[in-house]
Structure 1
Amino acid sequence: MNSIETQALSIGYGESLIIDDLNVTIPKGQISVFIGGNGCGKSTLLRSVARLLKPTSGTVIIEGKQITSIQTKELAKKMAVLPQSPIAPEGLTVYQLVKQGRYPHQSIFKQWSADDENKVNHALEATRLTEYKDKAVDQLSGGQRQRAWIAMTLAQDTDIILLDEPTTYLDMTHQIEILDLLFELNEKENRTIVMVLHDLNLACRYAHHIISIKNGKVFAEGKPEDVINAEMVRAVFNMECQVATDPLFGTPMCIPNGKGRCILKQNKYNNAVNA
């Protein structure tokens, strides 16, 4: 069974159509990544799947049900969403932030319980933030702060987690840290994870399923080795490249042709040959 499907989905802002008649399938229990050039509709699609943006036509299906038929609180028990660059109120501690993930499970008849506390503690442990739980979120490093937000989504205890560019503004070390964490959550807890990523090589390393978007439509969809090739990169990103095999992971690795040093190296080679 698939976790998420879109059926003839169209999304726009005003008279501008961003996503046009899109059919996408998100496999259950896997990591799926949306890739594509700037402005192609990746984040728009993710927001619509999260029911943060109403489509102009078509529908989103969550575990066999139309998303519009699911009450907001029930949807929050099925799916957690982490938008781009979220901001916590000044002075809010890590524990207080993570605790907010349990709000969909509270009601007049069900107040804070030992189970809620256990879920929060588990989220802190999984993100390696237990020792920082009393520290203000705005005092954390970029990587720690992103882990705190992910901990909040974990405390929500949903089978599906949506993340819009979770590695944006992070250095290389923190990018790998966050993606390793998400990979562990998928491996150990079978969470369905859907992300927007810009880095093709990281997308290939961590995704089971890649969806390439061009001009609001699916250009290619499937396993990284079936999607990532020089023709796709040329068509979707307007860039020439070589696609090799990652020596550590065996996944596709995109090497941009670029200019500059590449041209300089070629000129040196030509001069040596002609000398």
Structure 2
Amino acid sequence: MLTETPPLESRSLCLGYDERLVIENLDLRIPPGLVTVLVGGNGCGKSTLLKSFARLLKPQSGSVLLDGRDIQQRPTKDVAQRLAILPQGPVAPEGLTVHQLVRQGRYPHQRWLQSWTQDDEEQVNQALQDTDLHALAHAPVDSLSGGQRQRAWIAMTLAQDTDVLLLDEPTTYLDLTHQIDVLDLLANLNQRRRKTIVMVLHDLNLACRYAHHIVAVRQGRVHAEGDPETVVTEQLVQEVFDLGCRIIRDPLFDTPLCIPYGKDSKLARSGGSSADCA
């Protein structure tokens, strides 16, 4: 149980688009200094919830609190100095270089008539260093590989110098090598700089490997939350994803590993053999 004010919290939160309700009466507290991963089936409300945490979507009712204060009542620049969001599939203007993209992360810290400062430059250089992009600083973003491009966008959010990072499916369209590369980077940033990270992931096994805290969303509500050991069970996968599976131990990371099977597979009909995850 959290004993300090969470960096982000929702209270009786209802979200939707026009008349369609997506999130209903959702209460959630994000643990500070940890990696929280939102999981769930397509259309369950994960990305919608992340948008509301970033103040990109106004609640129909209820509230989102940033450091204990209603995020809708806080100035835009104040919010941008406290949290950064990387949306799904961002696109940079044609010809924009990596360095120019990363510089944009400093805009929330600019003041009227204030020139670029030494601190701004140091934050940009640190972000490039953290993401191992110094050698590509003057390369056009659209010339990079998928993994490099994603690192560039993460560098921009790091230059924003916030304590909270929100990422919507940061591994989308990446091959397995680049997925691990990006997630290792985020885990390292969490460990070294104590960033509170909230992200949406589709891969349940990667969620178990990298998350301290998992939130399983089903039909617009929190179905279960807690550490991967507690949350990820065969029953939960069936209830949240409508998918039969076996949960075993990951032989490398000792985290829950989901082995799915199709409804018509021989294993599904025979019942298979269940390996204890305890």
TM tier, smaller:
over 0.9
Q: Tell me the secondary structure at the aligned position of residue 111 of structure 2.
A: coil
1:65 positional shift: 1.1
**Equivalent residue for 1:273?**
none
Provide the rounded CA distance (Å) in 1 between the counterparts of 2:29 and 2:114: 35
Distance in 2 (CA, whole Å) between partners of 1:227 and 1:259 is 23
Show the counterpart of 1:224. 228
Measured on the aligned residues, the alpha-carbon RMSD in Å equals 1.6
- Is contact 2:23–2:49 with CA below 8 Å preserved after alignment? yes
Normalising to structure 1: TM-score of the pair?
0.94
- Matching of residues 124-139 of structure 1 within 5 Å: 124-139=128-143
Distance 1:51 1:263 in 2: 47
2:174 to 170, 179, 203: 170
Matches within 5 A, 1:221-260: 221-258=225-262
Gap change, CA 1:43 and 1:266, over 3 Å in 2: closer
Q: 1:149 to 1:215 in 2, by over 3 A?
A: same
What is the one-letter code of the residue matched to 2:158? L
- Within 2, Cα distance between the matches of 1:135 and 1:218? 42
Distance 1:265 1:67, change over 3 A: closer
> What are structure 1's unaligned runs of at least 5 residues?
268-275
For each residue in 1:1-50, what CA deviation from the matched residue of structure 2 results, as whole angstroms up to 9, or x when unmatched?
A: 21111000000111110000000110000000000000000000000111
1:263 Cα shift?
2.8
Q: Which SS does the other structure have where 2:72 is aligned?
A: helix
**Matching of residues 70-109 of structure 1 within 5 Å:** 70-109=74-113
Q: TM-score, normalised by structure 2?
A: 0.93
Provide Cα deviations, 1:160-198, integer angstroms capped at 9, x if missing partner.
Answer: 000000000000000000000000000000000000000
Candidates 18, 24, 29, aligned match of 2:22:
18
Q: Please tell me the residue identity of whatever aligns with 1:3.
A: P
Q: Does 1:263 align with 2:266?
A: yes
Aligned positions, number: 267
Structure of greater Rg: 1
How far apart are the structure 2 equivalents of 1:57 and 1:264?
Answer: 45
C-alpha separation in 2, matches of 1:265 and 1:156:
48
Q: Offset of 1:103 from its aligned partner?
A: 0.6
Runs of 4+ in structure 1 off by over 4 angstroms are 264-267
- What 5-or-longer segments of structure 2 have no aligned partner? 271-278
Counterpart in the other structure of 2:183: 179
1:68 and 2:72 equivalent?
yes
